Amino acid sequence: MRDPDDASNALARVQQIFDELEEQEEKSGRQRGHDDAERSEAVPVTPEAARELRSICERLHPSDIAWVLEALPLDERLALWNFVGSDRDGEILIEVNEGVRETLIEAMNRDELVDAVETLDTDEIADLVPDLPPDVSAEVQEGLSMEERSQLRAAMSYPEDSVGARMDFELVTVREDATLGSVLEQLRRYKALPDHTDKVFVVDRGGHFRGTLSLSRILVNTPSKVVKDVMQKDVLTLSPLDSESDAAQAFERYDLVSAAVVDEAGRLVGRLTVDEVVDVIREESQEDAFGAVGLDDDQDIFSSVWETARSRWLWLGVNLCTAFIASRVISAFDGTISKVVALAALMPIVAGMAGNSGNQTLTLLVRSMAMGQVTASNIPDVLRRETLVALINGIMWGVISGLLVWFLYRDSGQGMMLGFVMFLAMMLNIILGAIVGAAVPLVLRALGRDPAMGGSVLLTFMTDSGGFLIFLSLATLFFR
């Protein structure tokens, strides 16, 4: 039985083993360097530790091993990688993220890579080929059958984010004139059915798709019945060029386990399965979360410090520029701030509330756009709704913040006016934040960019600069 906590327990034990090894090195006067992110050699391992590490790897699922490897510094990762069975290398390379995969591939020699990749299915090889050295890729392709080579070329010819790049070539097909009894005999000849086989696909002699036949229908109907009499014809089919995101939404909407992939000529070329769809949903979620702050979702958390720093320069530079713009807005109102010092303490409140409101709208729009729910026809309705929501929130929280400001500064003689300025500024900036939060992903999509990419950075710039400008302009007007 597999325990969901296996990976966590294994990681804790692996880290403990490496900590003990490091202590032993320190005691023996061979202290290891602490800049793990810059090291490329594996940690020296004692025979006792080697046996335990090998045992841990043997009992873990490949996905769990991949998760553990991603959580280890580079030298410890390479040390553990040495104790993974060679027959499981390929499965683990598929599971780890791109940054970690590069470090593992660099640590393997040519023969090890070839042996690892040859254990994989064609669609999995297609996922790895871009990361493999050209000579390894060529040797792997030479070892494939003509049909497998054709499948590999087909998978690699489709865009990275398409159904064709994700589809599986392993499937069961039957003819519509066959009986259910003969279909059962055909299924029994398989040593094991392809993973996630919930149905077989019905095709004609030319390989054209005709429908599907679920395993449940095969079992509950009499063996003498003909396939065409019990098969389902009105079923979802996908094109190899369909977006993987759209396919994932279809799987979620119709609760599918697998779906046929049919080319323009109507021929069945593969199938998409739920395990791939889950990967798509997870990857898109990660991309949105990391993209919002300008990070690469495939980055290794233990990659080179220098490379990691450089990868963050762009958005940090953008943020610095926007911060200077916001500071210039503030400096333009030095006279007003010197008259009413309380303004300096209240400005961050106005900007912070608007930023939170804008982020709520931004997150909602990005998610809805990913689900295909925001279209050209309903954009005006979405913008109108978000503006009204912001107006209601702006009035309510503007009144609350205004009353609090009046109460805090009531003894200064400026409390009433400060409270009113706070009310107006809070209301207007919350509305501005919502409008910007809705506009940023829409504009990015119109420009052909990822709607989530850097959205929070741009939103913060607008709500900070806009909030300071609105608040200080109103203060200048009322405190002349």
278 Cβ contact list (under 8 Å, min separation 6): none
| Closest by CA position to 156, among listed 131, 176, 184 | 131
Q: Are 157 and 184 in contact (CB under 8 A)?
A: no
Looking at per-residue pLDDT, the higher value among 295 and 460 belongs to 460
How confident is the model over 314-343, as a mean pLDDT?
Answer: 83
How far apart CA 454 and CA 441 sit, in angstroms, is 10
DSSP code string of 270-309? EEEEHHHHHHHHHHHHHHHHHHTTT--TT--TTS-HHHHH
**According to CATH, where is 1.10.357.20 located in the chain?**
312-478
pLDDT in tens, 163-221: 999 999 999 999 999 999 999 999 999 999 999 999 999 999 999 999 999 999 999 99
The rounded mean pLDDT for the chain is: 86
Q: Are 299 and 439 in contact (CB under 8 A)?
A: no
Class of domain 4-159: mainly alpha
* Residue 454 pLDDT exceeds 70: no
pTM greater than 0.75 (yes/no): no
Residue 370 pLDDT level (bands cut at 50, 70, 90): confident
**According to CATH, where is 3.10.580.10 located in the chain?**
173-291
How far apart CA 70 and CA 72 sit, in angstroms, is 6
> What's CA 220's distance to the chain center, in Å?
41
Assigned token pair, 176: 């519509």
pLDDT score recorded for residue 289: 67
Backbone conformation region of residue 344, classed left if phi is above 0, alpha if psi is from -120 to 50, else beta: alpha
How confident is the model over 267-287, as a mean pLDDT?
Answer: 89
Q: Are 132 and 140 in contact (CB under 8 A)?
A: yes
Residue percentage of the chain with pLDDT more than 90:
42
| Closest by CA position to 155, among listed 326, 302, 271, 17 | 271
pLDDT score recorded for residue 39: 40
* Residue 264 pLDDT exceeds 70: yes
CA distances from 469 to 206, 224, 394, 476 (A): 69, 80, 17, 10
**According to CATH, where is 1.25.60.10 located in the chain?**
4-159
- The number of beta carbons lying within 10 Å of the beta carbon of residue 416 is 13
Length of the chain, please?
480
> Which of 101-105, 276-280, 449-453 is the least confident region?
449-453
First to last CA, the chain: 76
User: What SS3 class is residue 212?
Assistant: strand
How far apart CA 190 and CA 174 sit, in angstroms, is 14
CA distances from 393 to 281, 363, 419, 432 (A): 32, 17, 17, 12
What CATH number is given for 173-291 in this structure? 3.10.580.10
CA atoms within 13 A on the CB side of 203: 20
Scan for tokens 């998409």, then name that residue: 272
What CATH number is given for 312-478 in this structure? 1.10.357.20
pLDDT score recorded for residue 14: 92
CA atoms within 13 A on the CB side of 286: 11
